[in-house]
C-alpha cells in the first residue's frame, strides 16, 4: 500500500508522455494506413532542438522560466513539424501507391538515418537537458512524492490533447482529415486537397512528438540520439492497444502502457517488462485487433 | 529493364573493386596497430571515448619520434556495437591489414567474439575496458588493462560494508549489460559473505530513462545503500530520480560511473554517492593532469575513465613493442605479459599471470557536487 | 523436365562446394568470413522469402527464430563437448542443426497460428513482438548466459556446411514452389478469399510457410552460432529481422535468385563502406531509402515467375 499511490503517480506521468507520442502514430496511421517508424526519431530531434535553443531563448526573454519554457516548446514543435512534412514529401509521398512493405522499409530507413545522423552531428554521448520546468516537490510526504515536472507533464499533455480534439472535431480542417481517413478517393471528389491534409496531419503529429520530447526531457533530463527508440516503440504499442487511428484510444493506451510498465516493474519482475508490453500487444491484436476503443469507427481520424 | 540491369551490374562491379582496392598496404616505416571500437550504435558514446584516448596515445608516441624508429599507424574499425561486426573487423585487421597488435573493445560481448580470432592468429590483443573474466581466458595472447568484475565487485562490497558500515543493500542492475550483471553478481556474493544482506534487487535496460517504478519498489524494502553497477548514462538519472523520491541513502557504483557527465547530469543529487575507479581526472598526479589537460584541449571535455583506459591500452602496447625491440608476435606477447609497474593514467599497472591488470582501485565520493578522494585499495 | 533441372543444380552446387572446400585454406580469412556471412544471410533471406514472398505473410520476427536455433544448437554441441575436426563432430553438428531447425519451427508454429487472424501491418507488429519476446526470454535465462552471452561454442560451421545447406534449401524451395503446395502459397498470397473458395486450406498453407521458413532460420542461427562461436541476445534484435526483410524486398518478394543476389550485395555493402567508419550507417540508411524510392516493382527483376529463372534471364542481360 505504501508504494501503490506512488507507483500510480509514476505510471500516469510516464503514460501521459507515451500518449502524446502515440497520438502522432495514430493520426498518421489513420490517414495513410502505414506505421511511421521514424516518429520516435522526430521525437528525439525535438529534444535536441530544445537542448540547443533553451539557453539562447532564456537569455532573450530574461527571467521568466515559464514563458521561455513555452517558447522552447513552440520552437521545437515548429522545427519538428517542418521535419515531419519534409520526410513525408521526400520519402513517403512518392511511395503512396506502392505496397505497404516498401513504405514500412522506407520509414525504418528514415529512422536509421535520423539516429545515425544524430550520432554523427550531436555526438553519441548523453547531454544534460537544460531546466525549463523548475523542479520541486509539490507533494512531499514520507510515502508519496509528486514533483512539479510530473505535474507539468500531465497537465500540458492533457491541454495538448484537448486542443487536438478541438482541431479534429470542431474545425473544417479536422472534418477534412476525418473525411480523408474514411476514403481518399471520395474525399478528393468532394474537393478536399488530399496532399495538404496529409501534410497537415504530419504537422500535427510531429509537433505533438516535439511537445512530448520537451516534457520527457524535462522529467528525464539526459538526452541522446537513440533516445527515441524505446518511447517510440512503447507509444506505438499504446496506439495499437487503444485502437490505432483513434485519438481517445491513443490517450487511453498511453496511460495503460505507462501504468502497466510501472506496476510490472514495481511488483513483478522488471526484467520481463518489455516482454509483457509486447505480450499485451499480441493479445490485443489476437482478440480485439481494432483495439480497446476501436469499435467507435465513427471517430477514426 | 535492360538499363536497370546494367546499372545494377555496374554497381556490383564497383562495390567489388572498392573492396579489393581498399586494403591497407604496410609501409616499411610504419608499425600497424588495429583498433576495433563501437563508433556507432548503442554504445557509441563509450567506444568514442576509448577511441579518442587511443588516438591521443598514438599521436603522443609519434610526436616523440615513434618507436623502433618507426611511426605508429592506427587502423580503426567500427563495430556498430555488434559482436559479429567485431569478429569481421578483427579478421580484416589481422588478415588483410596485417596489424601487429589489436586493441579493443569496451564491451565484453564484442571482445569475446574477437578474442578467439586474435588467439588463433597469434596476434596480441589488449582489451581496454572488457571486465568479464572470460575474455582473457580465451588464450595467452589476450590481455586487459581494466579491472575484472570479481575484483571490483569485492572492493565495492567491502567498502559498503566496512567503510560505510551499511549492512542492508539493494541492487539496481542493467539487465541488458554484461558488465552490470557481472558486477552485481560479484558484489552480491562478497557482500553476503561479509555478513551483509541484499534486501531487494531490481533491473533496468540500457536506454531507459524512467526508473521511478524500480526505485519506488526498492524504497519499500528500506535499504541502507543502493548499488547501481552500470554506466553513468543511466546512473546519473537513477540517482537524480531517487532523490526526487526522497531516497537519501548512499548510492554506490563502479568505474562505469566515471565520467564528467555523471555530475553534469546528476547535479546536486549525486551528493552522498560513491564509486570505485582506477582513474580520476581530478587526481593531482602530474601524469594524470597532463593527460586530462591535453584531452580537454583536443576534445573540449574532461576525459572519462574509458578515455583513460583507451589511452593506457595504447601506451602498454607501444611500451611492449619498444621493450620487445621487434614486432614479431610471440616476442610482443611476451613483452606485454612482462609489463610491470607501468605508470599509466589509470595507476601503476602490472600484468599478472592470468593476463589481467593488477592496479590499485580508488574510491571516490561525491560531496557538494565535487569528486572527493576516499581511499585506495591495493590489489 | 520439371524435376531434373533442380536436381542437376543441386548436384552441381554440391560438387562446387566440394571443390572450393579443397582451396579453402588459400582464401584470405577476411574474404572467407564475409563469404560465410553472405551464405548465412542467403539462408535467412531465402527462408523469409517463403513466408513473405510466397505465402504473402508479413513477418518481422525472423531474428527470433534465428535466436532460437542458435541457442538450441549451441547448447547441444556444448553439452556434447565436440571438438572441431574430429570425426564425431560432423554427425553431432548435423544433429544439433536439425534440432535447431525443429525448435525454431515450433516457434514458427506459435507465430504462424496468430497469423491466421491477422494481416499486413498488424501481423508485422505481432511477429516483431514475438521476436522481441524470444529475445527477452533468452536474456533472462541464466543457463544460456543471459546478457553475458553464450561463450565457448566450437567452431564447426564452415563454407561447406553453409553452402551445402543453401543448395538443399534452394532445391527444396524450388520443388516446393513447383508442387501443389507452392501453387497453394501463391494462391493464398494473391487472393485469400478466392483461394479458399476453390478449396485451398488457407490456414494450413500459412502455417506451413511459417514452419518451413522458421526451420531454416533456425538452421541459419545454428550455423551462425558455430561460426562466430559467441552469441548474445542483443545480436538477435529487431534490427536483424529488419535487415533480412530488406534483403527480401530489395531482391524482389518471391524471386528466388533476386533474393540470393540482394542478400549477397547487402552483406558486402557495409563491408565496402568500412573505410568511412562513422559515416557508414548513415550512408547505408540513405541508400536504403533511395533504393526504395527509385525502384519500380522489384529492384532485381519482377514478380516470381519460375520460367524466367532459366529461360528469360540470359536473354535479358
Tell me: do B297 and B269 sit in the same domain: no
- Assess if residue C187 is contained within a domain: yes
Nearest Cβ partner for B178 among C148, C228, C280: C148
Question: How far is Cα of residue B255 from the mean position of the Cα atoms in its chain?
Answer: 9
| B residues 14-33 lying closer than 8 A (beta carbon) to C | 15-16, 18-19, 22
- Assess if residue A101 is contained within a domain: yes
- Assess if residue C290 is contained within a domain: no
Residue C305 has pLDDT above 50, yes or no: no
| Spatial separation of the C-alpha atoms in residues B33 and B58, rounded to whole Å | 10
Q: What's the total number of domains in chain B? A: 2
Report whether B264 contacts B235 (CB < 8 A).
no
Q: Which of A269, A222, C234, C144 is nearest to B203 (CA)?
A: A269
> How does pLDDT run across B332-379, given as a tens digit for each residue?
999 999 988 888 888 889 999 899 988 888 898 998 888 888 888 877
Residue A299 has pLDDT above 50, yes or no: no
Contact list in B for residue C37 (CB cut-off 8 A) is 84, 88
A131: its cell numbers: 531546466
- Assess if residue A106 is contained within a domain: yes
Taking the CB of residue B29, how many other CB atoms lie within 10 A of it?
10
Tell me: do B253 and B193 sit in the same domain: yes
Place of cell 593532469: B289
Report whether C295 contacts C254 (CB < 8 A).
no
Tell me: do B46 and B117 sit in the same domain: yes
Task: Give B299 to chain A, closest Cα distance, Å.
Answer: 12
Place of cell 487536438: A164
Range of the domain at B331: 29-147+287-359
Residue C299 has pLDDT above 70, yes or no: no
Contact list in B for residue C231 (CB cut-off 8 A) is 83
Tell me: do B319 and B351 sit in the same domain: yes
- Assess if residue A295 is contained within a domain: no
Last residue of a domain, one of B277, B295, B324: B277
> How does pLDDT run across A27-85, given as a tens digit for each residue?
888 888 888 889 999 999 999 999 999 888 888 877 677 788 888 999 999 999 999 99
Nearest Cβ partner for A271 among B175, B236, B237: B175
- Assess if residue B328 is contained within a domain: yes
Q: Which of A269, A212, A200, A219 is nearest to A238 (CA)?
A: A212
Report whether A110 contacts A87 (CB < 8 A).
yes
| Spatial separation of the C-alpha atoms in residues B250 and C35, rounded to whole Å | 53
Q: What's the total number of domains in chain C? A: 1
Contact list in A for residue B233 (CB cut-off 8 A) is 126, 222, 224
Chain B residue closest in CA terms to C28 = B95
Residue C164 has pLDDT above 80, yes or no: yes
Range of the domain at C108: 4-13+30-236
Task: Give A32 to chain B, closest Cα distance, Å.
Answer: 30
Helix (H) or strand (E) holding B130: none
| Spatial separation of the C-alpha atoms in residues C160 and C227, rounded to whole Å | 12
| Spatial separation of the C-alpha atoms in residues B58 and B34, rounded to whole Å | 12
| Spatial separation of the C-alpha atoms in residues B81 and B104, rounded to whole Å | 12
Predicted local distance difference test score (pLDDT) of residue A294: 65
pLDDT band at C176 (very low <50, low <70, confident <90, very high): confident
Question: How far is Cα of residue C188 from the mean position of the Cα atoms in its chain?
Answer: 21
- Assess if residue B3 is contained within a domain: no
Give every CB contact of residue B231 below 8 A, 6+ residues apart in sequence: B46, B174, B177, B179, B180, B206, B256, B257
What spatial distance separates the first Cα and last Cα of chain C, rounded to whole Å? 25
**In 3-state terms, what secondary structure has residue C86?**
coil
| Spatial separation of the C-alpha atoms in residues B278 and B304, rounded to whole Å | 11
Range of the domain at A175: 15-231
> How does pLDDT run across B221-259, given as a tens digit for each residue?
899 999 999 888 889 999 998 988 889 999 999 988 888
Residue B189 has pLDDT above 90, yes or no: yes
- Assess if residue C294 is contained within a domain: no
> How does pLDDT run across C257-289, given as a tens digit for each residue?
888 888 988 888 888 888 777 788 888 888 888
- Assess if residue C215 is contained within a domain: yes
Predicted local distance difference test score (pLDDT) of residue B10: 56
ipTM of the complex: 0.82
**In 3-state terms, what secondary structure has residue B199?**
strand
Q: What's the total number of domains in chain A? A: 1
Residue A272 has pLDDT above 50, yes or no: yes
**Which subunits sit against A, judged by 3+ Cβ pairs under 8 A?**
B, C
Q: What is the mean pLDDT of residues B33-53?
A: 90
Q: What is the mean pLDDT of residues C12-21?
A: 71
Count of all residues that appear for chain C in the document: 317
Judging by beta carbons within 10 Å of its beta carbon (0-12, 13-18, 19+), is residue C143 exposed, middle or buried?
exposed
Tell me: do B256 and B293 sit in the same domain: no
A198: its cell numbers: 496529409
- Calculate the CA dihedral of residues A102, A103, A107, A108 and round it to 10 degrees: -30
Tell me: do B139 and B153 sit in the same domain: no
Residue B172 has pLDDT above 90, yes or no: yes
Bridge partners, residue B252, by sequence: B227, B274
Chain C residue closest in CA terms to A115 = C282
Chain C residue closest in CA terms to B92 = C30
Report whether B17 contacts B11 (CB < 8 A).
no
- Assess if residue B366 is contained within a domain: no
DSSP state of C82: P
Residue C312 has pLDDT above 50, yes or no: no
Contact list in A for residue C126 (CB cut-off 8 A) is 281-282, 285-286
Query: What are the φ/ψ torsions at residue C221 (nearest 5 degrees)?
Result: -60, -45
Nearest Cβ partner for A110 among C117, C249, C289: C289
- Assess if residue B321 is contained within a domain: yes
Query: What are the φ/ψ torsions at residue B142 (nearest 5 degrees)?
Result: -110, 125
- Calculate the CA dihedral of residues B282, B288, B290, B295 and round it to 10 degrees: -80
Helix (H) or strand (E) holding C305: none
Taking the CB of residue B379, how many other CB atoms lie within 10 A of it?
15
| Spatial separation of the C-alpha atoms in residues A182 and A253, rounded to whole Å | 22
Helix axes A100-121, A39-61, angle to 10 degrees: 40
pLDDT higher at B258 or A136: B258
Question: How far is Cα of residue A264 from the mean position of the Cα atoms in its chain?
Answer: 22
| Spatial separation of the C-alpha atoms in residues C40 and C161, rounded to whole Å | 10
Cβ separation C224–B5 shorter than 8 A: no
**In 3-state terms, what secondary structure has residue C76?**
helix
pLDDT band at B26 (very low <50, low <70, confident <90, very high): low
Chain A residue closest in CA terms to B41 = A116
A237: its cell numbers: 504499442
pLDDT band at A101 (very low <50, low <70, confident <90, very high): confident
- Assess if residue A249 is contained within a domain: no
Predicted local distance difference test score (pLDDT) of residue B4: 53
Report whether C99 contacts C71 (CB < 8 A).
no
pLDDT band at C5 (very low <50, low <70, confident <90, very high): low
| Spatial separation of the C-alpha atoms in residues A156 and C201, rounded to whole Å | 52
- Assess if residue A290 is contained within a domain: no
Contact list in C for residue B88 (CB cut-off 8 A) is 30, 33-34, 37, 271
Contact list in B for residue A145 (CB cut-off 8 A) is 244-246
Tell me: do B265 and B295 sit in the same domain: no
Beta pairing class for B168-174 and B197-204:
parallel
Predicted local distance difference test score (pLDDT) of residue B9: 52
Bridge partners, residue B143, by sequence: B126
Report whether A224 contacts B45 (CB < 8 A).
yes
- Assess if residue C286 is contained within a domain: no
Tell me the CA distances in angstroms from B366 to B253, C22, C185, one per residue in order.
Answer: 11, 63, 65
- Assess if residue A115 is contained within a domain: yes
pLDDT band at A186 (very low <50, low <70, confident <90, very high): confident
Residue B80 has pLDDT above 90, yes or no: no
Task: Give B339 to chain A, closest Cα distance, Å.
Answer: 33
pLDDT band at C186 (very low <50, low <70, confident <90, very high): confident
Q: What is the mean pLDDT of residues B265-293?
A: 86
Count of all residues that appear for chain B in the document: 379
- Assess if residue C251 is contained within a domain: no
Cβ separation B265–A142 shorter than 8 A: no
Q: What is the CATH number of the domain that holds B299?
A: 3.40.50.2300
Cβ separation B209–A128 shorter than 8 A: no
Nearest Cβ partner for A126 among B212, B213, B261: B261
Mean pLDDT of chain A, nearest integer: 85
| Spatial separation of the C-alpha atoms in residues B59 and B52, rounded to whole Å | 11
Amino acid at each position: 500500500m505504501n508504494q501503490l499511490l506512488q507507483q500510480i503517480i509514476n505510471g500516469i506521468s510516464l503514460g501521459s508522455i507515451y500518449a502524446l507520442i502515440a497520438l502522432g502514430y495514430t493520426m498518421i496511421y489513420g490517414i495513410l494506413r502505414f506505421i511511421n517508424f521514424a516518429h520516435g526519431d522526430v521525437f528525439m530531434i525535438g529534444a535536441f532542438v530544445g537542448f540547443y535553443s533553451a539557453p539562447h531563448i532564456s537569455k532573450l526573454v530574461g527571467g521568466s522560466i515559464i514563458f521561455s519554457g513555452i517558447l522552447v516548446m513552440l520552437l521545437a514543435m515548429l522545427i519538428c513539424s517542418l521535419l515531419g512534412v519534409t520526410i513525408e514529401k521526400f520519402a513517403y509521398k512518392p511511395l503512396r501507391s506502392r505496397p505497404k512493405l516498401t513504405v514500412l522499409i522506407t520509414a525504418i530507413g528514415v529512422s536509421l538515418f535520423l539516429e545515425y545522423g544524430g550520432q554523427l552531428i550531436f555526438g553519441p554521448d548523453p547531454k544534460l537537458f537544460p531546466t525549463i520546468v523548475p523542479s520541486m516537490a509539490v507533494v512531499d510526504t514520507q510515502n508519496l512524492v509528486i514533483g512539479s515536472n510530473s505535474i507539468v507533464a500531465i497537465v500540458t499533455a492533457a491541454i495538448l490533447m484537448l486542443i487536438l480534439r478541438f482541431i479534429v472535431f470542431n474545425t473544417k480542417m479536422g472534418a477534412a482529415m476525418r473525411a480523408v481517413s474514411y476514403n481518399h478517393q471520395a474525399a478528393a471528389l468532394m474537393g478536399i486537397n488530399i496532399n495538404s491534409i496529409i501534410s497537415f496531419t504530419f504537422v500535427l503529429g510531429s509537433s505533438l512528438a516535439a511537445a512530448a520530447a520537451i516534457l520527457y526531457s524535462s522529467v528525464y533530463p539526459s538526452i541522446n540520439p537513440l533516445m527515441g527508440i524505446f518511447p517510440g516503440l512503447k507509444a506505438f504499442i499504446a496506439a495499437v492497444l487503444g485502437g490505432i487511428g483513434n485519438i481517445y484510444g491513443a490517450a487511453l493506451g498511453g496511460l495503460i502502457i505507462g501504468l502497466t510498465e510501472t506496476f510490472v516493474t514495481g511488483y513483478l519482475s522488471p526484467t520481463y517488462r518489455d516482454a509483457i508490453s509486447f505480450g499485451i500487444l499480441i493479445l490485443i491484436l489476437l482478440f480485439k485487433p481494432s483495439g480497446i476503443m476501436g469499435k467507435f469507427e465513427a471517430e477514426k481520424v | 529493364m535492360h538499363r536497370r540491369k546494367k546499372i545494377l551490374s555496374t554497381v556490383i562491379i564497383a562495390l567489388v573493386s572498392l573492396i579489393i582496392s581498399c586494403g591497407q598496404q604496410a609501409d616499411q616505416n610504419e608499425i600497424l596497430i588495429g583498433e576495433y571500437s563501437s563508433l556507432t550504435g548503442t554504445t557509441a558514446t563509450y567506444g568514442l571515448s576509448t577511441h579518442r584516448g587511443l588516438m591521443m596515445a598514438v599521436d603522443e608516441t609519434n610526436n616523440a619520434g615513434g618507436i623502433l624508429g618507426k611511426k605508429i599507424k592506427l587502423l580503426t574499425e567500427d563495430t556498430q556495437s555488434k559482436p559479429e561486426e567485431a569478429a569481421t573487423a578483427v579478421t580484416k585487421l589481422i588478415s588483410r591489414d596485417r596489424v601487429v597488435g589489436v586493441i579493443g573493445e569496451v564491451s565484453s560481448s564484442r571482445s569475446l567474439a574477437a578474442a578467439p580470432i586474435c588467439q588463433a592468429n597469434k596476434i596480441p590483443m589488449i582489451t581496454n575496458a572488457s571486465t568479464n573474466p572470460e575474455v582473457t581466458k580465451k588464450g595467452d595472447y589476450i590481455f586487459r588493462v581494466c579491472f575484472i568484475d570479481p575484483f571490483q565487485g569485492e572492493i565495492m562490497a567491502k567498502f559498503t560494508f566496512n567503510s560505510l558500515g551499511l549492512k542492508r543493500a539493494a541492487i539496481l542492475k542493467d539487465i541488458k549489460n554484461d558488465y552490470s550483471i557481472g558486477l552485481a553478481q560479484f558484489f552480491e556474493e562478497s557482500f553476503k559473505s561479509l555478513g551483509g544482506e541484499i534486501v531487494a534487487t531490481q533491473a533496468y535496460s540500457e536506454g531507459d530513462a524512467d526508473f521511478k517504478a524500480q526505485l519506488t519498489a526498492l524504497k519499500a524494502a528500506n535499504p541502507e545503500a543502493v548499488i547501481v553497477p552500470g554506466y553513468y548514462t543511466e546512473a546519473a538519472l537513477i540517482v537524480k530520480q531517487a532523490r526526487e523520491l526522497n531516497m537519501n541513502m548512499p548510492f554506490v557504483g563502479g568505474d562505469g560511473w566515471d565520467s564528467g557527465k555523471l555530475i553534469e547530469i546528476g547535479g546536486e543529487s549525486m551528493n552522498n554517492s560513491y564509486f570505485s575507479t582506477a582513474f580520476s581526472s581530478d587526481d593531482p598526479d602530474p601524469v594524470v593532469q597532463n593527460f586530462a589537460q591535453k584531452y580537454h584541449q583536443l576534445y573540449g571535455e574532461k576525459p572519462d575513465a574509458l578515455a583513460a583506459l583507451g589511452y593506457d591500452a595504447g601506451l602498454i602496447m607501444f611500451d611492449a613493442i619498444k621493450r620487445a625491440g621487434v614486432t614479431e608476435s610471440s616476442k610482443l606477447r611476451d613483452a606485454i605479459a612482462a609489463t610491470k609497474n607501468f605508470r599509466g593514467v589509470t595507476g601503476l599497472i602490472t600484468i599478472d599471470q592470468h593476463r589481467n591488470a593488477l592496479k590499485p582501485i580508488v574510491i571516490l565520493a561525491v560531496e557538494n557536487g565535487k569528486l572527493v578522494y576516499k581511499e585506495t585499495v591495493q590489489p | 523436365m520439371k524435376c531434373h533441372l533442380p536436381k542437376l543444380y543441386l548436384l552441381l552446387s554440391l560438387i562446387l562446394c566440394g571443390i572450393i572446400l579443397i582451396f579453402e585454406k588459400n582464401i584470405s580469412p577476411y574474404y572467407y568470413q564475409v563469404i560465410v556471412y553472405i551464405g548465412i544471410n542467403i539462408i535467412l533471406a531465402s527462408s523469409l522469402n517463403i513466408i513473405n514472398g510466397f505465402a504473402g505473410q508479413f513477418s518481422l520476427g525472423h531474428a527470433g527464430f534465428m535466436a532460437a536455433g542458435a541457442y538450441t544448437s549451441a547448447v547441444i554441441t556444448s553439452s556434447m563437448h565436440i571438438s572441431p575436426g574430429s570425426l564425431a563432430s560432423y554427425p553431432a553438428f548435423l544433429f544439433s542443426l536439425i534440432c535447431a531447425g525443429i525448435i525454431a519451427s515450433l516457434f514458427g508454429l506459435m507465430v504462424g497460428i496468430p497469423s491466421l487472424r491477422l494481416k499486413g501491418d498488424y501481423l508485422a507488429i505481432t511477429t516483431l513482438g514475438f521476436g522481441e519476446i524470444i529475445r527477452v526470454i533468452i536474456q533472462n535465462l541464466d543457463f544460456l548466459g543471459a546478457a553475458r552471452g553464450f561463450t565457448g561454442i566450437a567452431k564447426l560451421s564452415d563454407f561447406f556446411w553453409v553452402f551445402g545447406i543453401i543448395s538443399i534449401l534452394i532445391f527444396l524451395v524450388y520443388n516446393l514452389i513447383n508442387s501443389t503446395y507452392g501453387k497453394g502459397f501463391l494462391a493464398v498470397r494473391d487472393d485469400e478469399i478466392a483461394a479458399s473458395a476453390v478449396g485451398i486450406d488457407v490456414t494450413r498453407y500459412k502455417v506451413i510457410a511459417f514452419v518451413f521458413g522458421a526451420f531454416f532460420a533456425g538452421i541459419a542461427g545454428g550455423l551462425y552460432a558455430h561460426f562466430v562461436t559467441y552469441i548474445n541476445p542483443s545480436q538477435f534484435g529487431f534490427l536483424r529481422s529488419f535487415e533480412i526483410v530488406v534483403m527480401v524486398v530489395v531482391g524482389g518478394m518471391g524471386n528466388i535468385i533476386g533474393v540470393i543476389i540482394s542478400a549477397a550485395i547487402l552483406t558486402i555493402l557495409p563491408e565496402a563502406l568500412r573505410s568511412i567508419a562513422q559515416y557508414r550507417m548513415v550512408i547505408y540508411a540513405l541508400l536504403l531509402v533511395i533504393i526504395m524510392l527509385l525502384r519500380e516493382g522489384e529492384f532485381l527483376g519482377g514478380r516470381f515467375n519460375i520460367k524466367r529463372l532459366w529461360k528469360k534471364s540470359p536473354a535479358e542481360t
